[in-house]
Amino acid sequence: MTNIGFIGLGIMGKPMAKRLLRAGYPVTCYNRSLQAVRELVGLGAREGHSSKEVAEQSDVVITMLPNSPQVEQVVLGPDGVIDGAKPGTIVVDMSSIDPTVSRTISQKLAEKGIIMLDAPVSGGEPKAIDGTLSIMVGGPQEAFDRVRDILAAMGSSVVLVGEIGSGNVTKLANQIIVGLNIAAMSEAMVLAVKSGVDPEKVYRAIRGGLAGSNVLDAKVPLVLQGNFKPGFRIELHIKDLANALAAAHEVGVPLPLTSQVMEIMQALKVQGKAKDDHGGVIQFYETLAGVKVRKQED
């Protein structure tokens, strides 16, 4: 059985590591917060005391971290993965980061015979918990084939989309579409309420037609409850859109609608809502219109 190292046990990483344990893989984990490590150890994982130590004990090292600087630090920094990994080890970065950083890290790992895949995910905490994430992978086919079953323990869709960096380009495209869908949903539901129409009935009427989407089905029921507990925080979506805008400008692609959604999210961050679920974007529109989109009493 392949020995797996897992670094980063946050809102996404912890349930993903649990899925690997449930699938029977030996997992060595490391995280700045020891509480998450102890929880995994209680389920059968081994504790690593540094990224280097995790890599020394692993055939495959998975990282799930907030952004590019953290991935660079964990993989290439002092006591990093690069110092402990053997030639032939596969590093699978499942964080959502700048594609150019993925390529740079991959090049430095390759100098020591270490292979890297970038494999960001979509689906948020609920799909991380039930193991139905969509996983978008960039890197060599041979390495992908070696870890496909491992990734399948965490996701229902695992697709190799191209060379290293392609996974994160795909994730950025995903985040653009999700962000714009949430904004469109927000505008539509606020319009319904302001016009005196029951938003839940509007949702039921349109969800089966062309306007229906996974975003609509995932977010409207939570909005109707006023539940903005994070499955995916606004501050993380801001990070992804910042990476999307940077990558787009690098290759000469204007993203006018993405820029608008970014400013809406930035406004909510200023209002102290950065840790709300990204479905909480609707609060921006509610404030403008002076209404709240909530389930109506019968």
Hey, what are 123's tokens?
């689906």
Per DSSP (E only), the strands in the chain are 4-7, 27-30, 46-47, 60-63, 90-93, 115-118, 121-122, 133-138, 155-162
> Which amino acid would we find at residue 183?
A
Q: Which of 171, 219, 239, 273 is catalytic?
A: 171
Which helix (H) or strand (E) is 34 found in, with range? helix 34-41
Sign of the C-alpha dihedral computed for residues 260, 262, 265 and 267 taken in this order: negative
Residues 6+ apart with CB under 8 A from 89: 55, 58, 59, 60, 61, 114, 115
- Residue 275 in 3-state DSSP? coil
The yes-or-no answer on residue 171 being catalytic is yes
Active site residues: 171
